[in-house]
Amino acid sequence: MTLRRIAAACLPIVLAVAASLVASADTLPSRVLTFVDDRDGLSLTIQTQVSAPDAGRFTFKVRGLGGYVGHAGAAMRSLSPSSVVVRFAGDATLRPEVATDGTITGSLETPSAAQVELQAQIDPTRHTAEATLSDGNRRYHLVARSSGRGELDRTLGAVEQAFVDDDPLALYAEVNGGVRSAYSAADFASTWRSQSATIGRVAAMRRLAVTEPQTNELGMISIVATYEVERLTPSGASEVTVFDVFFVQEGASWKLLFSRPR
């Protein structure tokens, strides 16, 4: 992707609203993998590093309900770098589905105990998985045939295009629920304009890398896109900085969370 001309720097707004989430994002485990079934939003997050203290710890999310959290432990085996097998039956906790702003979005309101069976075949190398979780007469079957990023490519493109077009309203549609709760669309656009006059504006950016989805201890699924950003100061000087831009999964969608310079 070549350097793209973009208009104003709204990311400080996102940073200010989401600052409380930075510590969580900093602790994303490096060997925790997330697999998403794009058909219905089912997702499995599991620690696949067998030597880790939390090896086999998993969260199986069901859109509109919540997430089953359990610890497979020795019931997870690594047969090769490209084959991890889970055969688990035991205790789990079914936790409510919660958005980034703390709002419960699923039908479950309080955590409850559950006896579940989880069977999974995981390929960490290709980032594919097939898994089935059973809870009594409930049965959920997940097939993740791709990178498990859901609509991430669409979101990245939409965010970049919003910058290109200097369109804060288009960008507002791509920010996380915490920002949308704190700002109306009109307030967001107004803040965008006022900040660009005082702190300068982003003149160009180039995407350098995008990580695999990671999950923190709160169950937040995130990725980091790294950009080389050229900023024009109010005096007209040009500065180039590398920024990490964080995106969070909300349901089956990905939303802009915050950014920070390296």
Q: Which residue has the higher pLDDT, 50 or 119?
A: 119
Within the chain, residue ranges assigned H as helices are 11-17, 22-26, 152-164, 168-172, 177-182, 185-199
Per-residue burial over 115-130, b = 16 or more CB atoms within 10 Å of its CB, e = otherwise: ebebbbebbbeebbbb
pLDDT digits (tens, 9 = 90+) for 184-242: 999 998 988 888 778 777 777 789 999 877 766 555 778 899 998 888 788 888 888 88
Flag the least confident range among 19-23, 113-117, 124-128, 162-166: 19-23
Beta-sheet pairing, 201-210 with 138-144: unpaired
pLDDT digits (tens, 9 = 90+) for 106-149: 788 899 999 999 999 998 877 789 999 999 999 999 998 755 46
- The residue length of the chain stands at 262
How far does CA 8 lie from the centroid of its chain? 24
Quote the DSSP letter at residue 130. E
The residues, ordered by sequence, that sit 6+ positions from 249 with a Cβ below 8 Å of its Cβ are 36, 43, 150, 213, 220, 221, 222, 255
CB atoms under 10 Å from CB of 223, counted, come to 23
Share of residues in the chain with pLDDT > 90 (%):
34
Domains annotated for the chain, with CATH where assigned, are 4-25+149-261 (3.10.450.100), 39-144 (no CATH)
